[in-house]
Every structure is written in structure tokens, then in C-alpha cells.
Amino acid sequence: MSHGSRPSSRVSPVQSDLVLRAARAVIGGQVVSASISVRDGGIVAIDPIDASVCGATVVELGPDEVLLPGLVDTHVHVNEPGRTEWEGFASATRAAAAGGITTIVDMPLNSIPPTVDVAALEIKRRVAAEKSVVNVGFWGGAVPGNLDQLRPLHDAGVFGFKCFLLASGVDEFPPLTLPELEKALIEIASFDGLMIVHAENAEVIAEAPSAAGREYSGFLESRPRAAENRAIEQVIELSRQTGCRVHILHLSSADAVPMIRAAKRDGVRVTVETCPHYLCFDAEDVPAGATQFKCCPPIREAGNREALWQGLLDGTIDTIVTDHSPCTPDLKRFDTGNFGDAWGGIASLQVSLAAVWTEARSRGCALTDIVRWMATNTADQVGMTNRGRIEVGCAADLVVFAPDEKFTVDVAQLYHRNPVTAYDRLGLSGVVRRSWISGSESSTGRLLARA
């Protein structure tokens, strides 16, 4: 980590509501010492740590603590309404806050109704407004038959649109064919929107072996890298043709990194994310019947994991998000351990920061890298230029993080609605000790819309 002082930056000398004094804070891509002044929910000044500044409340961070901007997780399945027994805004946002995530963007499925029109969006907003303790934004969905709903959803403030290229797992959110995807991209490009894609090719998967059985290797063979690679190639080509901004969700196949890198070099408007589980686990270590590790696309081999880390380090992969996709324990089919029957999804909101930091530091990465991948770049992806960073004029979404404190994940102690996660009993480094949303430790979150 680099350390240093930072020039004073102020907008007003009036007493602040809150002053945070940190010997270490991640600001402007560096670890520096600073005093951060907060008023009316925003950052109004950044001064040297020993500056004479006044606040109604003054918090001095300990020597083992670092001040981070709150993380922005743009890939979260809250599932409410309709499947609130799987998760819900109350439990999901409480877990997010405990894990240093101060803003989430909710996926348009697996709630009922899915967010494929403005009426469904309004239902989501009403539910979230009553229960959320972190900031919440929303994705819209692109499904067969709702082409005429995309612009109204965009105008209503969704951050973009999600589609699948194969069955999503829930009947109410069907996939797009390639011709339907092209039409949707043309429409979204007309208002410079963003399409985010679950990129697995249905035809390749249809030709793969069945996923049935307790052995993880069988499930892995049922979702081959070729399915991801082919779908990503198709999405890149359609983006190239239509000019539409596209984002590749939950990249697990490192084979696709070179083609994504080449597309970016060619000026194709493509970004890509990966997830903590692809960076922390490898297929060789998944026990038989351990369906808590099932997700789609799947966790792949150790060599693939290391190649994903290289894609992050060289800037090809832009962001790390959770793809928090929980369910009730019965849907994981622990009674049989059959990977073919179990629901695919990993719950990780509360532990994602620690999980990524534990793996990142072992590879020589710094907290500045974590902030870039999990806060600044995720915020920028959806146009939240006033979040995911500590700057004057930005929202005072802030987190006190103890990077060296170790703990063991206990699923029973997590705020997720259901006690199921692949991270249970895993030893990690990095504990979130406090978090502020818009300068408050006790306020409810805000509903966010695209600027």
C-alpha cells in the first residue's frame, strides 16, 4: 500500500454533522491519511488528518482500521416480492451493510412479478422502500414480448436490462433468441441504454452431458466453457453491429478473456464482471453432494481461477459482484446431493468483501484494487458517479474495515434469510466494523434511479 497526505479539498467551513479521522483511507486510488467531513448526507471536505475541523460527531479510526467507500454491488437477487422466503429486502440489505456494501442493484428475477414493465418496477420500489437499510437500484428485464416496455422502463429509472440466452430457471423470465436479442439491442441503443447478459449458449449446453448425480465433475461437464465462450462471442458481435452497450455477467470461463480484451481494443462497448466464488473456489475441491457450490455458470478449475485473476489485474475484467442468488435449503437438495436437481446460486452478500480481499492480498493486491473492482468501477458501470469513491460532492457511504482481523464464516451468524452458503466454515481476513449510509449509521437506504 502507498501512504501519504492529500491536499485539502473543501466546499464549506460550516460545522459538519460528522468528521471521520483516518490514518488510512482509500482516496483517489491511494491509501492516504485524511479527515473527511460530512454534512446533509454528503462529503463536504477532505483535509489532512490533523486539520482543525469541527463536527457534531467525530470518529477516529483505530490504527488497524482503513476507511473505504461503501461497496456498490450491481448483481443481487433479492427475490421480493413473490419469493421472499428465498431472501427479501430486509434480510438482503442488512447482510449487505454488515459486509460493507452500501448500494445494491436488484435483478429483475426471481421476484414475482419480474421487473419487465413499469408496473412491476413500481411494486418492487414500494416493497424496497419499506425495508431497505442500504441504497437500492433496479435492473429491468428484457424477455420475449416486452420490447415496447424497454424505453418506458429506462425512462422510469432502471439502470439497464438483463436478458438470458438460455432458460433462466424460472418460467416467468424466459430467454431471448439471438434475433430477439438483436432487436432488443437496437432498441436499447436508440436511447443509449445498457444490456447485461447471462451469456451461456443453449445449444452447446443441450449437447453436453446431463448434470445428474452427486459428483461435481458431472455438473461441470454439463455447463462447458464452450457454452460461455460461444455466447460471449455472439454478444460481442451483436454489440459491434448495433453499437449497443453490453455487459457480460458473472464470467467464469477465462477462455473468453482474450476475445473480450480484443473487442475492447476494437472499440466494442463491452464490459465484464466476475464473482467472488469464481475467484475463491476451484472445481477440484468441491466435495460430492455439496450443492451449496452449484451456480450457473459453474465454478471451474484452479487454473481457470488464476486466469480470471490475471484478467482482473490487466484490466480486461472490470468488476467483481456477488451474483447473490439464495434459495431455501430444500431447493439445494441436500437430502440427495444431486447437482442436477439443486437450485443454482450462491449466497455471499455479507462475506464478499472479506472473501475477495483474502484471495487478493495473497496475490499481492492492495485495498485500492478492491475499491476499484467492487466500488468505483461498479458505480461507474451504472452511472452512479457520486458513489463508490471518497470525494467531495459524493454521497457519504463509508465503511470502516479492519483488513488484518481474521474470522471464520459461520452461516448461522449471517443476516442472509437462509443458512446456506458455500463460504460456511471458511477462514477469511477482513472485518467490517462500521458503515454509514449517507452519513448515518441508522438511516434507511435510498431508492436510486438512473441519472
* For residue 418, cis peptide bond before it (omega within 30 degrees of 0): no
Q: What is the mean pLDDT of residues 190-196?
A: 98
pLDDT of 329 > 50? The answer is yes
Q: Which of these, 236, 200, 191, 248, lies nearest to 344 by C-alpha position? A: 200
**What is the phi/psi pair of residue 334, to 5°?**
-65, -20
Q: What pLDDT sits at residue 451?
A: 84
Q: What pLDDT sits at residue 94?
A: 97
Residues 6+ apart with CB under 8 A from 277: 293, 295, 299, 323, 346, 348, 422
H/E element holding 232?
Answer: helix 225-242
If pLDDT is split at 50, 70 and 90, which confidence band does 9 have? low
Count other Cβ atoms within 10 Å, centred on residue 369: 20
Count other Cβ atoms within 10 Å, centred on residue 111: 27
Q: What pLDDT sits at residue 7?
A: 41
Helical ranges in 223-342 per DSSP H = 225-242, 257-265, 276-280, 302-313
Residue 72 near residue 388, CB atoms below 8 Å: yes
H/E element holding 69?
Answer: strand 66-69
Residue 36 near residue 25, CB atoms below 8 Å: yes
Residue 297 near residue 228, CB atoms below 8 Å: yes
Residue 195 β-bridge partners = 161, 246
Angle, alpha carbons 287-288-294 (nearest 5°): 80
The string of pLDDT tens digits covering residues 122-166 is: 999 999 999 999 999 999 999 999 999 999 999 999 999 999 999
Task: Supply the pTM of this predicted model.
Answer: 0.96
Helix (H, G, I), strand (E, B) or coil at 266: coil
The string of pLDDT tens digits covering residues 228-239 is: 999 999 999 999
Residue 225 near residue 255, CB atoms below 8 Å: yes
Q: What pLDDT sits at residue 6?
A: 44
Q: What pLDDT sits at residue 135?
A: 98
Q: What pLDDT sits at residue 442?
A: 82
Residue 434 near residue 399, CB atoms below 8 Å: yes
Q: Look up residue 198 and give its DSSP letter.
A: E
C-alpha cell at 202: 443453449
